[in-house]
């Protein structure tokens, strides 16, 4: 294999409902050079479901983007991995960590941690279906504390031909509560020959860089911290080059950037979907600013595409006047 398993040391974590094309473009503007799609259903991909094809065949597909699949049927995962290879994907990942009920109840996501026999079949099938491309597995520590098995699961994945492991060291039973246990990431890195990436609770650029060095891993993933501060990638990359971080941009820069995401969303999904989709991103962008709770509340109520545009622009002007009755107009 000539390519590194992880395209770079600083990776945006896959996040369902979030890491679609418009947000990926925004992350790239802030220096993120290594990304994953949202998780994509293998069974929907095999059926060429339209919304799934939009996720699985995006215009920004290149070596810096990995496609993540979820599923629990080896034959479907095999067929989906073949489709991924045919579409030209260079990187593919299997989700063995999702704790969401609908996913787990079908045996997929973190339910695979509970059934390593099926996990082995699924990983092996994807390996065969994907051919020679780079194939990773993203997992949790196990189903619950009494069933911690990430070391065993990583061995299974390695035995079935996976090229790298990403560990989010929480149990399925924890959901997103408690803390990610980075000691387990270091332990995994020391126990396997495969490159390891760690995911969980990285809150600052300095922490991202420190985790790589401390744990002896190839890469860190940053998820929730990048929702309100996507420039964390630029600053972490600067730190790795020995340069000082640039820190918080102005509200003008943040608003202009958010507006580009809004326009990209409108181009991809239409204006009305864009209005509802941008709300959560606007709320995250405004999080650290004065009067942010008022501003967030006002944004949540907007229904009109032009009103949303004005709201985002007024946030950039520092006026936030939409928060005081600028309304829907």
Ligand X SMILES: Cc1cc2nc3c(=O)[nH]c(=O)nc-3n(C[C@H](O)[C@H](O)[C@H](O)COP(=O)(O)O)c2cc1C
Per CB under 6 A, residues contacting ligand X are 13-16, 18, 38-39, 68, 95, 97-98, 138, 168, 176, 199-202, 222-225
CA distance 92 to 293: 39
CA distance 80 to 48: 10
Closest CB to ligand X among 16 and 151? 16
122 is catalytic: no
DSSP string, 254-265: HHHHHHHHHHHH
Minimum Å gap between C-beta 317 and ligand X is 30
Catalytic residue among 34, 98, 122, 215: 98
Cα–Cα nearest to 56, from 72, 29, 80 = 80
Minimum Å gap between C-beta 195 and ligand X is 17
Minimum Å gap between C-beta 222 and ligand X is 5
Residue nearest to ligand X according to CB distances in the complex: 223
CA distance 243 to 305: 40
Closest CB to ligand X among 15 and 116? 15
Taking each helix axis as running N to C, give the angle between helix 271-286 and helix 292-301, from 0 to 180 degrees, rounded to the nearest 10. 170
Strand-pair partners of 163: none
Minimum Å gap between C-beta 203 and ligand X is 8
Which secondary structure element, helix H or strand E, spans residue 251, and what is its range? helix 251-269
Phi and psi based region of residue 265 (left: phi greater than 0; alpha: psi -120 to 50; beta: remaining): alpha
Closest CB to ligand X among 129 and 169? 169
Closest CB to ligand X among 103 and 255? 103
Closest CB to ligand X among 157 and 311? 157
Minimum Å gap between C-beta 68 and ligand X is 6
Cα–Cα nearest to 43, from 78, 86, 91, 16 = 78
Q: Which residues are catalytic?
A: 98
């Amino acid at each position: 294999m000539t390519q590194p398993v992880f395209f770079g040391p600083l990776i945006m974590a896959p996040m369902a409902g979030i890491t679609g094309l418009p947000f990926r473009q925004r992350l790239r503007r802030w220096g993120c050079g290594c990304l994953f799609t949202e998780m994509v259903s293998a069974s929907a991909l095999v059926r060429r479901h339209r919304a799934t094809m939009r996720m699985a065949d995006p215009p920004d597909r290149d070596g810096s983007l990995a496609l993540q699949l979820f599923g629990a049927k080896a034959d479907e995962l095999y067929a989906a991995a073949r489709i991924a290879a045919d579409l030209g994907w260079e990187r593919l990942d299997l989700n063995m960590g999702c704790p969401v009920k609908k996913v787990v109840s079908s045996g997929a996501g973190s339910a695979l941690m509970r059934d390593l026999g099926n996990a082995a079949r699924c990983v092996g099938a994807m390996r065969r279906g994907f051919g020679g491309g780079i194939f990773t597995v993203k997992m949790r520590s196990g189903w619950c504390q009494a069933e911690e098995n990430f070391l065993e699961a990583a061995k299974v994945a390695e035995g079935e031909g996976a090229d790298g492991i990403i560990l989010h060291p929480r149990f399925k039973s924890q959901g997103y509560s408690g803390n990610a246990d980075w000691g387990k990431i270091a332990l995994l890195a020391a126990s396997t020959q495969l490159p390891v990436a760690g995911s969980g609770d990285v809150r600052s650029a300095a922490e991202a860089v420190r985790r790589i060095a401390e744990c002896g891993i190839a890469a860190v993933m940053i998820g929730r911290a990048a929702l309100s501060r996507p420039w964390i990638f630029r600053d972490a990359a600067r730190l790795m080059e020995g340069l000082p971080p640039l820190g918080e941009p102005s509200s003008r820069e943040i608003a202009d950037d958010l507006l580009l995401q809004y326009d990209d969303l409108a181009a991809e999904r239409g204006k009305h979907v864009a209005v509802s989709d941008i709300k959560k991103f606007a709320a995250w962008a405004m999080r650290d600013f004065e009067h942010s709770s008022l501003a967030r509340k006002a944004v949540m109520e907007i229904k009109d595409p032009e009103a949303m545009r004005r709201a985002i622009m007024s946030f950039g002007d520092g006026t936030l006047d939409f928060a005081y009755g600028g309304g829907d107009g």
